[in-house]
Amino acid sequence: MGIEADDVSRIARVLIAGESINVSAQIQEFSSKAAYLVRHEEAPNVGCAKTTVLPMAGLNGGTLNLTTNPYEFTLGGIDFCALSGQTVSDLRRLSNIQSACQLMELMLTWQHVAPTCPDTVDGFPLHDRDPFSIERYPHVMVAGNQPKPEVTVHVGSGNRKCTLIAIPRFARSQLVAILNLRTFEVDWKQFSI
């Protein structure tokens, strides 16, 4: 069970949300094949062999377009905000809220993706700008390395909608989230490892 060839042909982009050094051989094989078909990007995270200080620089790589964490991009006119997840996990640790999507809703309300940085999440001091401020309200916000899969739609001021997706750590769940860019529905694919 997993992602079949016809599934891969419909994928526009693959985003790996950090901690991929310990990823299974099966997902590495899929990633290497998908890299030739679609844009393939990876955001660093705490488990990666780079820095643990935010904002994290992209890792060195061959077939990957390595990105920052957090990472904002536009695909087909849809604005994304992708997090490898440690800012959501840290906020969970400091609150009574367990739902990753509820924590991301707070981040949208506060217009900040790292509200605990630099107090409890390491970060570089930047004098001229705050790379964690949400300046453009995203259509989709993704947080990787979460305890369980979650999806919800947040309706902000002015009835702006943002699909929030919490993706569990792949090494534990073997789950991949596939977002339909027309309907914003998420399909969860399970790898058998």
pLDDT at 129 over 60: yes
pLDDT tens by residue, 143-158: 999 999 999 999 998 9
Range of the domain at 84: 5-190
CB 81 within 8 A of CB 69: no
Encode pLDDT of 79-112 as tens digits: 999 999 999 999 999 999 999 999 999 999 999 9
Cβ distance 79 to 53 under 8 Å? no
CATH of the domain at 52: 3.60.21.50
CA pair distance 1, 189, nearest whole angstrom: 8
The pair of structure tokens assigned to 12 is 């526009």
Number of domains in the chain: 1
Chain-centroid distance, C-alpha 176: 11
| pLDDT over 70 at 42, yes or no | no
Which among 89, 106, 75, 58 is positioned nearest to 166, based on CA atoms? Answer: 89
CA-nearest of 38, 35, 39, 42 to 9 is: 38
**pTM exceeding the 0.85 threshold for the entire prediction:** no
